[in-house]
Structure 1
């Protein structure tokens, strides 16, 4: 499946009444990771309500030890502060990068907004250098818009 073919599948997950929010987010992670070959790890980090930290809610791919990330640390932490998409073509070129796997070559992080507030993000790691482009950004923004409706 390509990104456009995934959209109706994601919409079905969002509207499934029998699933809880985190279950829906997990299904979305699984669907994306299984169907887009360069998306080797897919996860949702959500901002803590009172502390400046991100917490891993769901993920597909290799397990990670990075379940809590302080704002400002790593690519995810930087997006929590900047409120802007961050595409990293080569993670080795980033000083403020948190390595989750020695296989990761590139990363994209897109903030998730609810009522204009950055409440989390979708984080994608790829084992391919320069794996992400503007189409990926638009797709992941769309995914986050869908997820925001259930939060």
Structure 2
């Protein structure tokens, strides 16, 4: 499936009446990981209450020790501060990168905004070097806008 084919699938997940918020988020993670070959770890991080840190939400992929990420630390922590998309073509070239797995080559993080406030993000790791394009960014912005309606 390409991004345009995935958009209605995302909308269908968001609109499920019987599913919980976390069930919907997990379904989105599974959908993306299954249908986009270079998405090898897909998860959500959310602001942890009033603390300046992110807390891991639903995800698919290898287990991670990074359940809590302080603002400013790693790619996710930087996005929490900058409020901007962050595409990393080569994680080895990033000074402030938190390694989750030696197989990860690239990462993309897109913030989720509710009423103009950055309340979380989608984080995607890839085992493929430099796979992310502007199309990935636009698609993931769509996903984040849909997720924002749940929050």
TM-score normalised by the chain length of structure 2: 0.99
Does 1:86 find its partner at 2:86?
Answer: yes
Does 1:118 find its partner at 2:118?
Answer: yes
1:11-50 paired onto structure 2 within 5 Å: 11-50=11-50
- 1:147 deviates by 0.3
Q: Distance in 1 between matches of 2:28 and 2:19?
A: 12
- Where 1:92 maps in the other structure, the secondary structure is helix
- Where 2:25 maps in the other structure, the secondary structure is helix
Q: CA RMSD in A?
A: 0.5
Q: How many residues matched?
A: 151
Q: Distance in 1 between matches of 2:53 and 2:41?
A: 20
Does 1:109 find its partner at 2:112?
Answer: no
Deviations along 1:62-118, whole A, 9 cap, x unmatched?
111111100000000000000000000000000000000100000000000000000
Gaps of 5+ in 1: none
Structure-2 residue corresponding to 1:10: 10
- Where 1:31 maps in the other structure, the secondary structure is helix
- Where 1:103 maps in the other structure, the secondary structure is coil
- Where 2:28 maps in the other structure, the secondary structure is helix
TM-score normalised by the chain length of structure 1: 0.99
Structure-1 residue corresponding to 2:140: 140
- 1:20 deviates by 0.6
Gaps of 5+ in 2: none
Structure-1 residue corresponding to 2:57: 57
- 1:2 deviates by 1.3
